Amino acid sequence: MVNGFKPLLKEITYQIVMERSKGAHLTDLDGNDYVDALNGFGMSLFGWQPDFVLDAVRTQLDAGYEIGPQHVLAGEVAELFCDVTGNDRAALCNTGSEAVLGALRIARTVTGRDTVVVFSGAYHGIIDEMIVRGTRTHRAVPAAPGILRNTAEHVVVLDYGTAESAQWLREHADELAAVLVEPVQSRRPDFQPVEFLKDLRAITAASGALLVFDEVVTGFRAHPAGAQGMFGIQADLATYGKVVGGGFPIGVIAGKRDYMDALDGGDWRFGDDSVPTVGVTYFAGTFVRHPLALAAAAAVLKHLKAQGPELQARLNQRIGAFVGDLNRHCAAVGAPVEVRHFASVWKTFFLEDHPLQDLLFAMMRSRGVHILDNFPCFFTTAHSEADFARIGDAFKASIDELQDSGFLPRPKATTQTVMDSSAPKIAGARLGRDPQGQPAWYAPDPEAPGQYVKVEV
């Protein structure tokens, strides 16, 4: 399967099949080297096969990867996770999609309500209930074949970041189990509606609905505490994945104790009459808390804790400079293209519609950059200055080639005649403008006293 298949580009559409990788580089089956701009759809923050993850996984591989019994690393990972992110409790699963499913199940369990709000443009994984699009009445309908219509009957889709959506929520919040939000959408990284998010926090807190942040992409990439830490907004629940797995499949649900207790009933002790006090929902899986994923996650969390927020701050600063350089080039050559970013996420936007503009990505691939058409891109701490330069040079050269080939426009050339009013072409002439607005000399008309005629030069 090839995402975004277009018949016009069919003959240059192909998968790049990788043989090995290390750091920011990939090598395909033919021995071609690529610097990676995609980085596992945001999964990689440290490059491929970072040594601190490899060492931890090799140690665990030798010790075993049994499934079923509780693993010694499970508690350590949960504790480290809460320490780094500031959450009360954390529960582990296999993917970000599973984490979203679990968070919605918790929200409906603790509120006793059914309806969930999501926002247009967000991506919340592959569960049927989240593959939806909105209608004029805000009700959701399936956005892909094979999904039953009734899976979305308790989902409302609103526009993201608008005053109208905030007003709708104020009027209906008492009916909601949760408001699920991707705080910075990976498909629109430049849109960061912090005041809207603060409104969501106030509205949900007042109504008893849960505010759920989907931090699968933003978690650990923007800040150790994700978008919540960057914006200073604490959600009730949050979902995570990608970066924290260190290259292994993982998902995490984390949040406030009162809600997380719905997964296991809450605290109880041996030797007394204590019992789980919270009604629980069901959430489990054979490969939940897989030992190799736990080992990788523990190594990642220890690394993040040791590095502190400076890790993300340094990388984010480098991205800002990189994006600025690309946009200056596009402006200088008059290409209707712009790169936008949030933290270390960046995406290319076409400001006009031209049939073959997507050749940009094929041209970048031909120059040794691993990138997918119109997908958000991500940088890692493994990218060197030479890697940044290689991606930037490939982007700029590809823009130039698209213009040279006529697939992207150049600004129309304009010529402006500069005339010195103190040096008329003939005696007595004056400067004026012709009917087209261009400067021209006008001399007295010998056949019509007091009138002037244009001097042709």
d(CA 105, CA 297): 24
Pairing of strands 210-214, 237-241: parallel
Residue 92 parent element (H or E): strand 89-93
Q: Which residue has the tokens 């809460």?
A: 82
Burial tier of 124 (Cβ tally within 10 Å: 0-12, 13-18, 19+): buried
Spell 352-391 as b/e; 16+ CB within 10 A means b. eeeeebbbbbbbbbebebbbbbbbbbbbbbbbeeebbebb
**Tokens 């603790």, located at residue:** 110
Residue of 65, 83, 123, 159 with catalytic role: 123
Q: Work out the burial of residue 280: count CB atoms within 10 Å of its CB; fewer than 13 is exposed, 13-18 middle, 19 or more buried.
A: middle
Rounded CA gap, 283 and 290, in Å?
15
DSSP code, position 412: P
How many angstroms separate the CA atoms of 41 and 46, rounded?
Answer: 13
CB 115, CB 175: distance < 8 Å: yes
**123 carries an active-site annotation:** yes
Nearest to 275 by CA among 261, 287, 294: 261
Residue 371 dihedral angles phi and psi, to the nearest 5°: -150, 150
Q: Clarify whether 242 is annotated catalytic.
A: yes
Which H or E run includes 90? Answer: strand 89-93
Per-position DSSP letters for 27-38, written without gaps between them: EETT--EEEESS
**Catalytic-labelled residue, pool 36, 160, 199, 242:** 242
For residue 77, report the phi and psi dihedrals to the nearest 5 degrees.
-65, -45
Catalytic residue chosen out of the listed positions 34, 36, 160, 214: 214
Q: Are 267 and 255 in contact (CB under 8 A)?
A: no
Q: Is 65 a residue of the active site?
A: no
Question: Which amino acids are annotated catalytic?
Answer: 123, 214, 242
